[in-house]
Amino acid sequence: MNSKTVKTKTDRFLLTKLVCPVTGGPLTFAKSENELISRSAKLGFPIRDGIPILVISEARELSAADLKA
């Protein structure tokens, strides 16, 4: 197993452990925007240099179109 495979598995594992700081609900990864989406809070949390920024003031409000995608 190479390091890229291990990193991907680790990232998926960590994603399952992260929760929305507003609702405590699940987050999903939006590859196109490189952010973690909280559908219940209607917020997108950025990922910078591979680090999820789960700070409410850094999140972007999601539109209805964003939530459909």
Q: Which helix (H) or strand (E) holds 43?
A: strand 43-48
Could you give the number of structural domains in the chain? 1
Spatial distance between the Cα atoms of 41 and 20, rounded to a whole number of angstroms: 8
Cα torsion 33, 37, 42, 48 to 10°: value is -60
Domain hosting residue 62, numbered range: 3-68
CB 42 within 8 A of CB 35: no
22: its two tokens = 């507003």
Tens of pLDDT, residue by residue over 4-44, are 444 555 577 887 889 999 999 999 988 889 999 999 999 99
Question: Which among 32, 20, 26, 16 has a CA at the least distance from the CA of 65?
Answer: 32
Question: What's the CATH number where 7 sits?
Answer: 2.20.25.10
Q: What is the pTM of this model?
A: 0.80
